[in-house]
Amino acid sequence: MPDLQELGEAIKRGDRDQSAMLTNAAIAAKVPAQEILDVMVAAMDVVGQRFQKNEIFVPEMLIAARAMKESLALLEPLLVDAGITPIAKAVIGTVEGDLHDIGKNLVAMMWKGANFDVIDLGTNVSPQKFVDAVRDNNAQLVGLSALLTTTMPAIKATVAALKAAGLDTAKVVIGGAPVTQEYADEVGADGYAPDAASAVNVARALL
């Protein structure tokens, strides 16, 4: 019997070789795909909690997310065969006028680690591009990021565009250096996440 607990530990430490090896071993031993996936997602939850408690930082979180991503790719065909789909479809991007993407990328990784299907639109994304992507993909979740006080108004414009397009059912989570809970309330966003780990919790609570 492959050691699923050790798979979780390998992901937490960001040991990509070990996590891939243990994922393959679990697959070979015919462990149900859902069981393997649950272990991986639980491991990433611990990574998120450690990040929030300042026990680990960006480099450690990134190597854990990389190990998760690679193991998930190995598992992908089995998930498809078993009819297991991601828990939500999410569209994410940095708003128009803003080219910063470090925070946005971290959120995208953590969302993927929580088994969301993430469509990353990149940076400098216009409100219309968000509207199109949410509609075309039937997304239930939207992530909007801005680093600058000068580009933060584009969050408001994007939220307004989504509402105007009748896409109110998609939950909008916003974040970025100048963004606050008060601002989220003001512009009508559904949630605010101060960091990448809490973006997972906020999204789960909204879905």
Partner 1 sequence: MKPRERVLRAIHHQPADRVPIDVGGTRQTGIAASTYHRLKQQLGLNTPTRVFDLYQMLAEIEPPVRERFGGDCVGLYRPDLVFGIVNEGWKPWTLFDGTPVQVPGGFQPQTEADGSLVIVQNGVPIARMPRGGFYFDRLEKFPGAAHIDLDGYRPPLLSPEVCAHYRAQSQMLYDQTDCAIVAPLGPPYELFYGLGTGDFERWMITLACEPDYVHRLYDCLVTAWLENLRRFADAVEDRVPILQFCDDFGTQQSLFLSVEMFRQLIMPHYQRGLDWIHTHTDMKVLLHSDGAIFPLIPSLIEMGVDMLNPVQTSAVGMDPVQLKQQFGQQLTFWGASLDCQKTLPYGQVAEVVAEVQQHLEIFAPGGGYVFGSVHNVQANVPPENVIAMYDTALNYCLE
Query: Where does this chain bind partner 1 (CB under 8 A)?
Result: 14, 54, 56-60, 62-63, 66, 96-100, 102-103, 105, 124, 148-151, 177-178, 180, 194-195
Tokens 């939220």, located at residue: 159
Smallest distance, Å, CB 178 to partner 1? 4
Smallest distance, Å, CB 80 to partner 1? 27
Distance between alpha carbon 55 and the CA centroid of its chain, in Å? 20
Q: Which is nearer to partner 1, 84 or 201 (CB)?
A: 201
Q: How far are the Cα atoms of 32, 112, 135, 193 from residue 187, in angstroms, in the given order?
A: 44, 26, 21, 15
Give the phi and the psi of residue 169 in degrees, each rounded to 5. -70, -25
Smallest distance, Å, CB 194 to partner 1? 6
Smallest distance, Å, CB 148 to partner 1? 7
CA distance 152 to 89: 24
In three-state secondary structure terms, 117 is strand
Q: Which is nearer to partner 1, 80 or 177 (CB)?
A: 177
Q: Which is nearer to partner 1, 59 or 166 (CB)?
A: 59
Q: Which is nearer to partner 1, 69 or 89 (CB)?
A: 69
CA distance 55 to 36: 26
Q: Which is nearer to partner 1, 17 or 136 (CB)?
A: 17
Smallest distance, Å, CB 188 to partner 1? 18
Smallest distance, Å, CB 175 to partner 1? 10
CB 113 within 8 A of CB 65: yes
Q: Which residues contact 195 (CB under 8 A, 6 or more apart)?
A: 51, 52, 106, 175
CA distance 19 to 5: 11
Name the DSSP letter for residue 95.
Answer: B
Q: Which is nearer to partner 1, 2 or 103 (CB)?
A: 103
